[in-house]
């Protein structure tokens, strides 16, 4: 009877928390800083961020959008709040204009 109440996930061990070097600093060359955890985990170490990605291209996009705020894509509709705040990624701006404004 105890077998029925046992969770099917009880035999799976949790992943260890990544150890991030506390001396990480922002990079003056603005290159993504990362470390790998196994074969498929890339961890952003820029200012102790800790975000995980499976592809290096996802890390690069994250770094540009979140840490550098390198590009701002503004909504083309006047009166929209996003016309002044904008988006960090063009695809997100395009999705917004399509869904909200019906382009």
**CA 23 centroid distance within chain:** 21
In this prediction, residue 75 has a pLDDT band, given cuts at 50, 70 and 90, of: very high
What pLDDT is recorded for position 94? 94
Does 17 score more than 80 pLDDT? no
Which two structure tokens, joined as six digits, stand for 101? 């404004």
Does 20 score more than 50 pLDDT? no
What pLDDT is recorded for position 71? 66
For residue 68, give the 3-state DSSP assignment.
Answer: helix
| H or E element, residue 37 | strand 34-37
What pLDDT is recorded for position 48? 81
22-71 residue pLDDT tens: 444 445 556 667 677 777 888 888 888 888 888 888 888 888 877 877 66
Return the higher-pLDDT residue of 38 and 79.
79
| Contacts made by residues 29-33, CB under 8 angstroms, sequence distance 24+ | 30/68, 32/59, 32/60, 32/62, 32/63
Q: Give the chain's largest Cα–Cα span.
A: 65
What pLDDT is recorded for position 96? 94
Q: Where are the domains of the chain?
A: 20-70, 71-103
In this prediction, residue 4 has a pLDDT band, given cuts at 50, 70 and 90, of: low
Could you tell me which residues are beta bridge partners of residue 35? 43
> What Cα–Cα distance (Å) separates residue 99 from each residue in 21, 37, 53, 96?
41, 37, 27, 5
């Amino acid at each position: 009877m105890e077998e029925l109440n046992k969770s099917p996930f009880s035999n799976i061990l949790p992943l260890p928390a990544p150890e991030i070097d506390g001396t990480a600093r922002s990079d003056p060359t603005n290159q993504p800083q990362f470390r790998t955890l196994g074969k498929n985990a890339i961890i952003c170490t820029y200012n102790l961020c800790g975000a995980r990605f499976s592809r290096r291209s996802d890390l690069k996009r994250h770094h540009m959008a979140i840490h550098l705020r390198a590009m701002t894509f503004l909504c083309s509709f006047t009166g929209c709040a996003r016309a002044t705040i904008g988006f960090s990624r063009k695809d997100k701006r395009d999705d917004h204009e399509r869904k909200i404004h019906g382009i």
